[in-house]
Amino acid sequence: MNARKTYQVITYGCQMNVHDSERIAGLLDAAGYEPVVAPEVADVVVFNTCAVRENADNRLYGNLGHLAPLKLEHPDMLIAVGGCMAQKDKDLVVKKAPWVDVVFGTHNIGHLPTLLDKARVEQQAQVEIAESLVTFPSTLPTRRESPYAGWVTISVGCNNTCTFCIVPSVRGQETDRRPEEVLDEITMLVDQGVQEVTLLGQNVNTYGVQFGDRDAFAKLLRACGDITGLRRLRFTSPHPANFTDSVIAAMAETPNVMPSLHMPLQSGSDTVLKRMRRAYRTGRFMSILESVRERIPHAAVTTDIIVGFPGETDDAFEATLDVVRQARFAAAFTFQYSIRPGTPAGVMPDQVPHDVVQERYERLVQVIDEIAWQENQALVGTEVEVMFAVGEGRKDGQTHRLSGRARDNRLVHVALPNDLDRQPRPGDIARATVTYAAPHHLIADTGFTGLERTLGGDAWERSQTPEPVGVTLGLPMRRSGGPVAV
Ligand code: SF4
């Protein structure tokens, strides 16, 4: 293959997809391709798609439509479609967009370079969709987005059947990775300068179901605590139905497990939770929260909430507002329910009219923001540990601040000193006093103390080559939770 062939990966959706894109990029690197960013025209354009969001198919086929004239101009360009929409639509992708060259399923990422070669040689579209996982994707080469923070997959797929969710049908049953493999991967990352790891699974609390150990996730957290150099450990997402006291104890007693928890509520109405086929009720959710706060008093808890699920009455929505007021979330990802084809909820009666959903959504966001603001204001005057980061907003020319995350995952914008020798690098860690709070961020305008120039910062410095990244996010990605959550 011509070593100068180039690629671009466009990613939609959740962290699982973002991490899959890192693998797609790694595989293409290993196959001799080079990453480029738009506006340069890549020889291979890969769409890593999401089927969860509203109108996901319109968006995908719209984007493919935009590429059709480019493909006419550059007939050698190959277009590949992978991810959850590919898994769902299979052959339909090439029927609707015949200029697509490769369609690969969520379990077929490892074959992408071969499929591209075949499409090029045979001049014919290649569609490969396996129904279940053969090779765990973490064994594939990876081009990681960040040199100081990384995702590590512990399981893929999900054994639940939430009625609004397409994940079980596009990602299959849960497959767990052996703990030794997970720990080896984390150790290898730490050796390379990674100091923050987020463990990824659709439902991390059922981790171990495949090898028959109900305490496997708690044990894994504790084992991660023994990895020297791993400064921060996070995970996403836990399912409230499977949360155990042993996990809470492991979180509280393992110093590098960060005091932050993203636990999807989805609805504060037990009737709606039942229709969603969520196997917990609000009482259970609140009791987990109580235990977490008892054991980890400074934990910031975030959540996901769907507004306007079919059959949600005014009373049911008020119940959600009540739970939100009691739970005092630090932040919440809120979604307006919309029909997702292929899901049981999509054909339920009592779909809630859009204007009602909109009105409820606005009220909910107002309550969430108000509480988040109050919780943030309580931090003014306190000192937080910040790990500086790229892609978190701002190295703001006017305000002269650099952003990072506190241990509880709150976004903090920290004033920088004028002295260039004291400038932190992404990956470095310092302490800063909060001087101002907004609903979604904190500001530390008196600068920082105790700057640690870390191995993560060194790794970031080494990574600053002119080489482009090659992975583009198709939708804005924010912190944990994202559009796919348990
Ligand atoms: S919402 Fe989460 S727990 Fe429910 S089916 Fe989807 S991935 Fe599984």
The CATH number that applies at residue 117 is 3.40.50.12160
Residues 254, 91: Cα–Cα separation, whole Å: 47
**Residues 359 and 394 occupy one common structural domain:** no
Indicate the number of domains in the chain.
3
- Whether 478 maps to a domain, the answer reads no
Taking the C-alpha atoms of residue 406 and residue 387, their distance in angstroms, rounded to an integer, is 7
Residues 211 and 262 grouped into a single domain: yes
Q: Residue 420 falls within a domain, yes or no?
A: yes
How many angstroms separate the alpha carbon of residue 321 from the centre of ligand 1? 22
Q: Are residues 164 and 313 in the same domain?
A: yes
- Cβ-Cβ contacts under 8 Å for 369 (sequence gap 6 or more): 439, 440
- DSSP states along 15-38: HHHHHHHHHHHHHHHHTT-EE--T
Asked if the structure places residue 286 within a domain, the reply is: yes
- Select from 266, 396, 261 the least CA-distant residue to 324: 266
Q: Which domain holds residue 436?
A: 383-456
pLDDT lower than 50: segments of the chain: 1-2, 468-469, 473-486
Let me know whether 104 and 176 are in one domain.
no
Tokens of 103: 């369609």
Residues β-bridged to residue 388: 404
Q: What pLDDT, on a 0 to 100 scale, did the predictor assign at position 395?
A: 53
Tell me, yes or no, whether 259 and 389 share the same domain: no
Sign of the Cα pseudo-torsion (219, 221, 226, 227, in order):
positive
Q: Could you tell me what percentage of the chain is helix, strand and coil, using 3-state DSSP and rounding each to the nearest 5?
A: 35, 20, 45
Residues 209 and 240 in one domain: yes
Ligand 1: distance of its center to the CA of 160 in Å?
A: 6
Q: State which of 175, 203, 275 you would mutate to test the pocket of ligand 1, scoring each by most atoms of that ligand within 8 A of its C-beta.
A: 203
- Give domain status of residue 448, yes or no: yes
Same domain, 247 and 277: yes
Same-domain pairing of 256 and 323 = yes
Q: Is the CB of 21 under 6 A from ligand 1?
A: no
Residue 477 falls inside a structural domain: no
Pair 426, 148: CB distance under 8 Å: yes
The CATH number of whichever domain residue 436 belongs to comes to 2.40.50
Q: Tell me: do 198 and 289 sit in the same domain.
A: yes
Closest ligand 1 atom, residue 277 Cα: 4
Question: How confident is the model at residue 472, as a pLDDT?
Answer: 53
Report the CATH number at residue 154.
3.80.30.20
160 in ligand 1 pocket by Cβ < 6 Å? yes
Sheet containing 411-415: which strands, arranged edge to edge? 436-437, 442-444, 411-415, 401-406, 383-388, 429-433, 448-452
- Residue position matching structure tokens 């497959």: 175
The residue out of 134, 166, 190 marking a domain boundary is: 134
- What 8-state DSSP symbol labels residue 408? T
| Statement to judge: residues 95 and 169 lie in one domain | no
- Single-letter amino acid, residue 129: I
Alpha-carbon span 118 to 338, nearest angstrom? 38
Find out whether 164 and 345 touch, Cβ atoms under 8 Å.
yes
| Together in a domain, 366 and 248 | yes
Is the CB of residue 203 below 6 angstroms from any atom belonging to ligand 1? yes
From 16, 239, 274, 480, give the residue whose CB has the most ligand 1 atoms within 8 Å, as the site to mutate: 239
- Written as six digits, the tokens of 322 are 């009540």
pLDDT of residue 51: 83
Q: Is residue 481 in some structural domain?
A: no
Residues in Cβ contact with 32 at an 8 Å cutoff, skipping those fewer than 6 apart: 1, 2, 3, 5
Please give the number of the atom of ligand 1 that sits closest to the Cα of 237.
2
Whole-structure pTM value: 0.86
CB atoms within 10 A of CB 157: 21
* 128 shares its domain with 167: no
pLDDT digits (tens, 9 = 90+) for 8-53: 999 988 888 888 999 999 999 999 999 988 777 899 999 999 887 6
What is the Å distance from ligand 1's center to 486 Cα?
Answer: 4
> For ligand 1, is residue 237 a contact (CB within 6 Å)?
no
Choose among 326, 453, 442: nearest CA to 384: 442
Closest CA to 381 of 330, 448, 432: 432
The answer to whether position 474 is within a domain reads no
**Nearest C-alpha to atom 4 of ligand 1 is from which residue?**
162
Helices marked H in 125-215: 167-171, 179-191
Helices and strands (H and E) in the chain: how many: 14, 22
Please provide residue 405's backbone torsions phi and psi, each rounded to the nearest 5 degrees: -115, 135
Q: Is residue 486 lining ligand 1, measured as CB closer than 6 Å?
A: yes
